[in-house]
Structure 1
Amino acid sequence: MNNFKPYYAVIFTSTQATDIKGYLVMAEKMENLAKQQKGYLGMDSARNEVGITISYWESLEAIKNWKANTAHLFAQQKGREQWYNWYNVRICKVEREYEFTLE
């Protein structure tokens, strides 16, 4: 029997500015802080020409609380002022998932 419970994904897609001094340190700090938030389920990230970070949450309320976190608000401000040329945030409900692993 499948015990899958729907959850939410926040998809953050971005392109970086040329001046990203301090970005990697802040990204690591935000990931560690997110892990401590109630309702946090995990994160996947890839950074190349376009950066994509997907964080997973139990509820919309948990996402709202993370968005309002003081340290996260500071990181958002730095991102708009210095690190990003563009970004887009999508919030999606995950109702089903599956995966493949070659073993």
Structure 2
Amino acid sequence: MSIASTPQPPYVAVIFTSLRTTVDEGYALTSAEMVSMAGGQPGFLGIESARGADGLGITVSYWKDMDSVRAWKSVSEHRMAQKLGRERWYRAYRTRVCVVEREYGFSL
């Protein structure tokens, strides 16, 4: 995975922070399917994700605007994955939706 390439602000960031359970059955496949499916959605700009050995994970997806975020949230397969996450894979999670107003960076 690499740093997402995003346009000049403003755009929207959805930050999903989670704590995993010990259940792995189906998680990797569902996660890969959601990343692939999100990538095909109108307004999707990119994604970055990391998970520590302690089970804490942070995934940030970037979107053109709030309408794009709402459309992704309403996709039935995404809603089903969220339901499975609450039932099986996550002990806790928090979703934060933010408008990115400024960005800067460095790369070699």
Scaled by the length of structure 1, the TM-score of the pair is 0.93
SS at match of 1:91: strand
Say what the alpha-carbon RMSD is for the aligned residues: 1.1
User: Structure 2 regions of 5+ residues with no counterpart?
Assistant: 1-6
Percent identical pairs in the alignment equals: 45
Is residue 10 of structure 2 the alignment partner of residue 6 of structure 1?
Answer: yes
SS at match of 2:72: helix
SS at match of 1:85: strand
1:5-59 CA-partner distances (Å, limit 9, x unpaired): 3100000000001112110111000000000000000000001121000000001
The CA distance in 2 between the partners of 1:51 and 1:25, in whole Å, is 16
The CA distance in 1 between the partners of 2:9 and 2:88, in whole Å, is 38
The runs of at least 4 aligned residues of structure 1 exceeding 6 Å deviation read none
User: Structure 1 regions of 5+ residues with no counterpart?
Assistant: none
Counterpart of 1:89 in structure 2 is: 95
Contact 2:63 2:69 in 1 (8 A): yes
The CA distance in 1 between the partners of 2:26 and 2:63, in whole Å, is 26
Scaled by the length of structure 2, the TM-score of the pair is 0.89
Deviation at 1:81, TM superposition (A): 0.4
